[in-house]
Amino acid sequence: MAETDVPARWARANQKAAVIADHGIDEPLRIYLRWHLPLGVLILVGLGYALSNLLLSEPWNTDLALGLMLAVFGTFAGGLAYTNRRLKSRVSLARSTPLYGLEKPEQKSIRRQMLGNEPPVPEQLGVVRGVAIEHRYMMARQFVFLFPFQMLLCASQIVNFWTDTVSFATFLWVVALFLSVWACAYSAWQYRRIGAFLNGTYAAGEQGAAQSSSAT
Which segment, 54-68, 84-98, 156-170, is predicted with the most confidence on average? 84-98
pLDDT score of 215 more than 70: no
- pLDDT for the residue 194: 98
Whether 215 maps to a domain, the answer reads no
Whether 72 maps to a domain, the answer reads yes
The tens digit of pLDDT for each residue in 90-142 reads 999 999 999 999 999 999 999 999 999 999 999 999 999 999 999 999 999 99
Whether 172 maps to a domain, the answer reads yes
- pLDDT for the residue 168: 87
Is the separation of the CB atoms in 24 and 140 below 8 Å? Answer: no
Strand partners, 91: 22
- The domain in which residue 32 lies consists of 6-208
What is the mean predicted confidence (pLDDT) over 34-47? 97
Three-class SS of residue 91? Answer: strand
Whether 213 maps to a domain, the answer reads no
% pLDDT > 70, the chain: 92
Instruction: Name the percent of the chain in helix, strand, coil, to the closest 5.
Output: 80, 0, 20
Band (209; pLDDT cuts 50, 70, 90): low
- pLDDT for the residue 162: 82
Is the separation of the CB atoms in 44 and 13 below 8 Å? Answer: no
Query: For 36, which DSSP code?
Result: I
Whether 214 maps to a domain, the answer reads no
Band (164; pLDDT cuts 50, 70, 90): low
What is the mean predicted confidence (pLDDT) over 149-156? 97
- pLDDT for the residue 161: 86
Q: Which residue has the higher pLDDT, 62 or 2?
A: 62
Whether 53 maps to a domain, the answer reads yes
The tens digit of pLDDT for each residue in 187-207 reads 999 999 999 999 999 877 565
CA distance 142 to 124: 27
Three-class SS of residue 49? Answer: helix
What are the b/e assignments for 103-124, b being 16+ CB within 10 Å?
eeebbebbbebbbeeeebeeeb
Whether 103 maps to a domain, the answer reads yes
Q: Can you state the angle between helices 125-141 and 202-215, rounded to 10 degrees?
A: 120
CA distance 51 to 63: 8
pLDDT score of 213 more than 60: no
Strand partners, 92: 21
Q: How many domains does the chain have?
A: 1
Whether 216 maps to a domain, the answer reads no
DSSP one-letter string for 64-111: HHHHHHHHHHHHHHHHHHHIIIIIGGGEE--SS-TTTTS-HHHHHHHH
